[in-house]
Chains A and B, each alone.
Chain A
Amino acid sequence: MARAWGARLIEFQSVTKAFDDGTVAVNDLDLAVEAGTITVFVGPSGCGKTTSLRMVNRMVEPTSGRVLVDGRDVRSADPALLRRGIGYVIQHAGLFPHRTVLDNVATVPLLGGWTRRRARARAAELLEVVGLPQEVGRRYPAQLSGGQQQRVGVARALAADPPVLLMDEPFSAVDPVVREGLQDELLRLQSELDKTVLFVTHDIDEAVRVGERVAVFATGGVLAQYAEPPELLARPANDFVADFVGRDRGYWGLSFVAGGALRPDEVETVTVGASGVVSGDEWLLALDEDGRPRGWLRPRAVVSGPLSEQELEPGGSLHTLGLPLRGALDAALSSPSGRGVVVDRGGRAVGVVTAHQVLELLAAERAATQARPEGGR
């Protein structure tokens, strides 16, 4: 697309939606979504997230105000054609139960007049993009797990390669572990495909995880704050937002503090397979031949024969050098030795950090930010 990054691709201009029964679902919304970003609408149930999203593809018409996509009022477009150019992942997947997965994914290309053969070939490609094996294509939606259904929903929305993707609580029906996987996948897809994504959720954790910008809606369809996640967590605009983002936002804030200044300590190591290992008063970090951490050997352990993984305490999570500090704190807190293992991009151990070190660094960063006049983000 010949469009400058950062251009306003979707714009709400004084948009209000009042339903026939008098419910004001969206109240005077002014908001612009930049091309090539993931923007999240978050807020409690009934605050108008879905309604706002559906005004973009004309499934709901505003009572007043305008919605622009790529500079054009959506009302000037034929609704069916407009929608074929905007991917939509619906709450609860909404797959067509009577069509195979492949034909579900081929829906929009077929509507656009592609031959069945070409549409199916495209659909098969998309299954791969969202990480589903080809044989899933022959199944019906009822034969898939919840997580697989969500992936198919994403593949279906991407099939015609639309520049804009609307996602309404796409991952709300799956368990937290699967959900995290899907979120990572979305971030990967977004970095590869460069779509403009408008993502709805009621989960603030999900919002700050996937969103480059987050719009917090309050009850009554009022936009409470529109900001980048670190800003939202550090400086909630009002009590509603503060309350909504929750108490553990300090911890979440760590996600956005760069870990570049972290200086890991050295640690004594052993190699798995070495013979006659005896540990002293300290935990020993066990590595494989390539220097990747395998676990910890307790203090005062005596191992006769080669050191096997059975003798090790499983290590906690690993922190990759240079990534946000949250990972370092996680690593320290989850490690049996109380020291988090820091690895380089290749996964080789470079040292360890304690939770105390992470928190000190954090305090220093904070002091530095506050010393700056109105820290420009």
Chain B
Amino acid sequence: MTLDELGRYLSSPSNREQLVEQFGQHVYLSLVPLLLGLLVAVPLGWGAQRLPPVRAVVFGGASVLYTVPSLALFVVIPGIIGTRTLDSVNVVVALTLYTAALLVRSVVGALDAVPGPVTAAATAMGYRPLRRFLTVELPLAVPVLTAGVRVASVSNISLVSVGALIGTGGLGVLFTEGFRTRYLAPILVGIVLTLLLALVVDRALVLARNSLTPWTRLTPGGSR
């Protein structure tokens, strides 16, 4: 393959239009489940952290779910929730489940890492459990939790490509098309864009974490 070939691929307006559309699809299909998965994992993790029996069930379920191959999940979900096979909702649901399965452990780990005297102090001050969770434990869980979210974001961004095999959108379409037409340029562009997306999202997560946790970067006696 030559740079020529790449140049020709990128110079076609219809190709460029397709790139932009699939990139947008990819962002949507990977980040919406990331957010939804987090929203599912947080209350589950809260329950699991407080109640040992819940922890056993949640952790067991998460492990089993995570061993189901993604392609199988994409195919099975329509049968369960009644969507059409090619619906992108299938990908969203499947990735939400994966994300939740991955993050629930992070949530529990992050909550376990909140210092005992701090939660005890909150209780002693007269916090009720829900408010204590939202305003004390969750903010303090952000550093550990972010580590889990970063892994999940990369995992989602790569898994979305698999969806192309069952005909949903995203940058994976470039791979299937490249293979079908034995044409390398779209595959290459697809790989680069996927990596780029993963890097940008990761960077954004780090920035978000830093702005949420100013207190983690302090030295005794120093100023903010």
A and B are partners in one complex rather than unrelated chains = yes
> Chain A interface (Cβ within 8 Å of chain B)?
57, 59, 80-84, 88, 90-99, 107-108, 111, 138-145, 156, 166
Contacts A59-B120, A143-B219, A143-B221 known; A108 to B125 CB distance under 8 Å?
yes
Q: Whole-angstrom distance between the alpha carbons of A148 and B63 in the complex?
A: 46
- B136 is an interface residue with CB less than 8 A from chain A: yes
Question: Which of B85-134 touch A at CB < 8 Å?
Answer: 115, 117-118, 120-128, 131
- B3 is an interface residue with CB less than 8 A from chain A: no
Q: Are A95 and B121 in contact (CB under 8 A)?
A: yes
- B140 is an interface residue with CB less than 8 A from chain A: yes
> Which one of A59, A96, A139, A143 lies within 8 Å of B124 (CB-CB)?
A59
CB contacts (< 8 Å) of A144 on chain B: these are 220-221
- B13 is an interface residue with CB less than 8 A from chain A: no
Contacts A97-B118, A142-B215 known; A108 to B220 CB distance under 8 Å?
no
Q: Are A94 and B120 in contact (CB under 8 A)?
A: yes
CB contacts (< 8 Å) of A95 on chain B: these are 118, 121
CB contacts (< 8 Å) of B214 on chain A: these are 140
1/0 contact string of B211-224 vs chain A (CB within 8 Å)? 00111001111111
- B43 is an interface residue with CB less than 8 A from chain A: no
Q: Are A83 and B123 in contact (CB under 8 A)?
A: yes
Q: Are A59 and B126 in contact (CB under 8 A)?
A: no
- B139 is an interface residue with CB less than 8 A from chain A: yes
Q: Whole-angstrom distance between the alpha carbons of A114 and B215 in the complex?
A: 25
Contacts A142-B220, A143-B220 known; A96 to B126 CB distance under 8 Å?
no
> Which one of A84, A98, A139, A142 lies within 8 Å of B126 (CB-CB)?
A84
Contacts A97-B140, A97-B215, A144-B220 known; A92 to B127 CB distance under 8 Å?
no
- Count how many chain B residues have C-beta atoms less than 8 Å from C-beta atoms of the other chain: 26
Q: Are B218 and A98 in contact (CB under 8 A)?
A: no
CB contacts (< 8 Å) of A83 on chain B: these are 123-126
Q: Which of B115, B120, B126, B215 has the most CB of A within 10 A?
A: B126
Q: Whole-angstrom distance between the alpha carbons of A144 and B218 in the complex?
A: 10
Contacts A81-B126, A111-B126, A111-B127 known; A90 to B219 CB distance under 8 Å?
no
Give 15 A-B pairs besides A98-B213, A142-B215 with Cβ atoms closer than 8 angstroms: A59-B123, A81-B126, A83-B125, A88-B121, A94-B115, A94-B117, A108-B125, A108-B126, A111-B125, A111-B131, A140-B214, A140-B215, A140-B224, A143-B222, A166-B124
> Chain B interface (Cβ within 8 Å of chain A)?
115, 117-118, 120-128, 131, 136, 139-140, 213-215, 218-224
Distance in Å: Cβ of A163 to nearest Cβ of chain B = 15
Q: Whole-angstrom distance between the alpha carbons of A163 and B159 in the complex?
A: 59
Q: Main SS of chain A's interface residues?
A: mixed
Q: Are A90 and B215 in contact (CB under 8 A)?
A: no
Q: Whole-angstrom distance between the alpha carbons of A102 and B85 in the complex?
A: 56
Distance in Å: Cβ of B138 to nearest Cβ of chain A = 10
CB contacts (< 8 Å) of B140 on chain A: these are 97-98
CB contacts (< 8 Å) of A143 on chain B: these are 218-223
Q: Are B125 and A93 in contact (CB under 8 A)?
A: no
Contacts A80-B127, A80-B128, A90-B117 known; A96 to B219 CB distance under 8 Å?
no
Q: Whole-angstrom distance between the alpha carbons of A96 and B118 in the complex?
A: 6
> Which one of B125, B131, B221 lies within 8 Å of A156 (CB-CB)?
B125
Contacts A92-B117, A94-B117, A96-B136 known; A107 to B125 CB distance under 8 Å?
yes
CB contacts (< 8 Å) of B124 on chain A: these are 57, 59, 83, 88, 90, 166
CB contacts (< 8 Å) of B215 on chain A: these are 97-99, 140-142
Q: Whole-angstrom distance between the alpha carbons of A84 and B127 in the complex?
A: 8
Distance in Å: Cβ of B214 to nearest Cβ of chain A = 8
CB contacts (< 8 Å) of A139 on chain B: these are 223-224
CB contacts (< 8 Å) of B224 on chain A: these are 138-140
Q: Whole-angstrom distance between the alpha carbons of A108 and B126 in the complex?
A: 7
Contacts A90-B120, A98-B140 known; A145 to B220 CB distance under 8 Å?
yes
CB contacts (< 8 Å) of B221 on chain A: these are 143-145
Distance in Å: Cβ of A133 to nearest Cβ of chain B = 13
Q: Are A84 and B125 in contact (CB under 8 A)?
A: yes
CB contacts (< 8 Å) of A140 on chain B: these are 214-215, 218, 224
